[in-house]
Amino acid sequence: MTDPKGRGRQRSSESEEAILKATLQLLKEKSLRDITVDAIARKAGVGKMTIYKWWPSKAYVALDAFRKKMNKVVVMPDTGDTERDLAELLYSIMSFYISPTGRIFSQFLAESQSDPEFAVLFREHFLKPRRESVGVFLDRAMKEGAIDHTLNREILLDLIFGPMVFRLMAGHGALNRAESDAMISTLLRGIRSNAPKLKRASGDKAAVIQV
Amino acid sequence: MTDPKGRGRQRSSESEEAILKATLQLLKEKSLRDITVDAIARKAGVGKMTIYKWWPSKAYVALDAFRKKMNKVVVMPDTGDTERDLAELLYSIMSFYISPTGRIFSQFLAESQSDPEFAVLFREHFLKPRRESVGVFLDRAMKEGAIDHTLNREILLDLIFGPMVFRLMAGHGALNRAESDAMISTLLRGIRSNAPKLKRASGDKAAVIQV
DNA sequence: ACGATACTAGACGTATAGTATTGTAAAATG
DNA sequence: CATTTTACAATACTATACGTCTAGTATCGT
C-alpha cells in the first residue's frame, strides 16, 4: 500500500509476520469464518488496529498468509507424456488443497460469495497467475500436437480443475490419485463411445430432473 | 420433525410459508451471509422463535425455501442426440444457477465450508438426488453405446458439472450457451489431439508453478 | 374445562466486527 | 538534538447479529 518510504516510523515486519503466522496456525484448527480478528491479534501479540490498518478483513489476511506459505513451489511435471504430466499436476494440486493448510482454498471461494471485492482480489492475484502457469503448459502441448490445438484454453483449464473444485466444495467424492488419474484419462480420451450407437427404444420416457 | 399429530396446537403452515417466501425475497437482494434471522421474521410477520423452533439456522431455512421454489422442474432433454441433450441439460441448469434465485446454490456450497452438518444435509438431500437423476440418463447413454460404458459415473458427473461449479464459485469465466456447448463438445471428443505428436525440443525448460 | 403445544413480540446475554482513543516507540527531517 | 510524522499496543467503545428466554395468547385434542 504505502510504497517507498514515509516520513515516520516504518512498518513493523515483525508484527506483519507474526500476524500471518498466527493466522495460518488458527486456520489449521478452525474455518475462516470461525476465527476472529481478536484471536489473531492476541496470538500474534499485536494490536487489533495494526491488522485493520493493513488489511480490510481477516479474509485478506488469510489470503496473504496463504500465498506466503506457498513458497513451496511445485515444478510442473515434464516427462513429455502429456497424460502423465496432467495427472501428476492435478494430483499434486489436489493433495495440497485437501491438506490442513491447503483447505483454506475452499474457504476463499466461500468468502468470495459474500465479499465481491475479495472475490476480485482472489481471482486476479491468486487464481489468474496460477491458471496462466498451467496455460503455458497447455499451449505448448497444443503446439506440439499432444492436445487438440483448436480447443479453448479457458475451457480446458476448467475441465481439468473444475471436477476437483466441485468435490472440494461439496465433499461428495474422493480426491486421491485414482480419481485424478481417472479424471485426466477420461478427459483426454473423451466420454463418447466408439461403439456403434444403439437404436433408441421408442417407449422410453424422458427422465425428469429438478434443476 | 414432529411426526403425525401431537396433542396441542398444530404447526402453522401460514407462518411456515411466510418464512420461506420472505427468505427467498431477501435472498434476491442480499447474500445468505448478509440477511438476518430478525429480518426474515420481520418480513414474514412471525416471531423469531418460530424460525428457531423448526430450523437450526437461516441456511437451513434457505435450503428449504430453495427446494420448494424448485418445483419448476426441467424435463431432461431427450432428442436422442447425446451431445445435444447434455449441452441442453448443462445450459438449463447453469441458466438457473446464475439467476437471482438460483444464485443461492453457490452460497450453499459456501455455507458448507463452515457448517459440516449443513454440508451433509445439502449433499444428501439436494445434490445426491439431482446427480442420481442425471445418472439415470448417463446410464442409459452408456447402455445404448453413446457414452463409453467403461467410464465411472461419478467422474462423468463431475466432468460435466465441475467446470460450471468452478466458474460459479470463482467467477472467472462466462456461463452461457456458447460455454456450455464448448464444455460438452470438448468433453465428448476428448482433449487429446489426433495429430502426430511433435518431438519435444530438448532445450525447453520446465515451467514452474505455485500450487 | 383442561392440558399440551405453537404462536407473536420483544427483552436479554454473548460474541464479533470494526472504530476511536491514548500513550509510546521508531524513523525521517531540520 | 529537537521536532515532526507515522506505526504501534492496548483497550474502550459502538453497532450488529445470533441464539435464548420469558410473557402472554391462540389453537388443538381429550
Alpha helices (runs of H) in chain B, residue ranges in sequence order: 13-29, 37-44, 48-54, 58-69, 82-97, 104-112, 116-122, 128-144, 153-170, 177-189
Q: For residue range B164-181, what is the model confidence (pLDDT) as tens digits?
A: 999 999 999 999 999 999
Q: Which nucleotide is nearest to B12 (CA to C1')?
A: C6
Write out pLDDT tens, residues B94-148. Answer: 999 999 999 999 999 999 999 999 999 999 999 999 999 999 999 999 999 999 9
Spatial CB neighbours of A209, under 8 Å, sequence gap ≥ 6? B73, B74, B76, B89, B130, B133, B134
Q: Name every chain A residue with its beta carbon within 8 A of the beta carbon of B182.
A: 152, 155
Q: Is the CB of A47 under 7 A from strand D?
A: yes
With cell 487464481, the residue in question is A127
CA torsion sign for A160, A166, A168, A173 is: negative
Determine the Cα–Cα distance for residues B15 and B21; give it in Å rounded to an integer. Answer: 10
| CA A60/CA A117 separation, integer angstroms | 10
pLDDT value, residue A197: 58
Is the pLDDT assigned to residue A161 strictly greater than 70?
yes
Q: Which of residues 142-181 of A touch strand D (CB under 7 A)?
A: none
The answer to whether the Cβ–Cβ distance between B133 and A107 falls below 8 Å is: no
Sorted by sequence, the CB contacts under 8 Å of residue B26 that are 6+ apart come out as B35, B39, B40, B43
Burial (CB < 10 A; 0-12, 13-18, 19+), residue B79, is exposed
**Positions 60-119 in A, CB within 7 angstroms of strand C:** none
User: Which nucleotides of chain C does any protein CB come within 7 A of?
Assistant: 3-11, 15-21, 25-29
Q: What is the pLDDT of residues A96-105, one digit of tens each?
A: 999 999 999 9
The helix or strand, by DSSP H or E, that contains position B75, with its residue range, turns out to be: strand B73-75
How many angstroms is C1' of C6 away from CA of B205? Answer: 72
Residue among B114, B151, B189 minimizing CB distance to A31: B114
Mean residue pLDDT of chain A comes to: 91
Question: For residues B205 and A77, what is the distance between their CA atoms, to the nearest angstrom?
Answer: 11
Confidence label for B4 from pLDDT (cuts 50, 70 and 90)? low
pLDDT digits (tens, 9 = 90+) for A100-146: 999 999 999 999 999 999 999 999 999 999 999 999 999 999 999 99
State how far the Cα of A93 lies from the Cα of A164, in Å rounded to an integer.
9
Of residues A79 and B4, more confidently modeled: A79
Q: How close, in Å, is residue A196 to chain B by CA atoms?
A: 7
Instruction: Give pLDDT tens digits for A51-61.
Output: 999 999 999 99
> Are the beta carbons of A73 and A140 closer than 8 angstroms?
no
For residue B157, is pLDDT > 60?
Answer: yes
Longest dimension (CA), chain B: 82
The answer to whether the CB atoms of B208 and A110 lie below 8 A apart is: no
- Going by pLDDT thresholds of 50, 70 and 90, the confidence category of residue A1 is very low
Question: Residues of B with CB below 8 A from A152's CB?
Answer: 182, 186
SS3 A209: strand
Using N-to-C axis directions, what is the helix angle for A153-170 and A82-97, rounded to 10°?
40
Question: Integer distance in angstroms from CA B48 to C1' C11?
Answer: 13
Cα(B135)–Cα(B14) distance, integer angstroms: 37
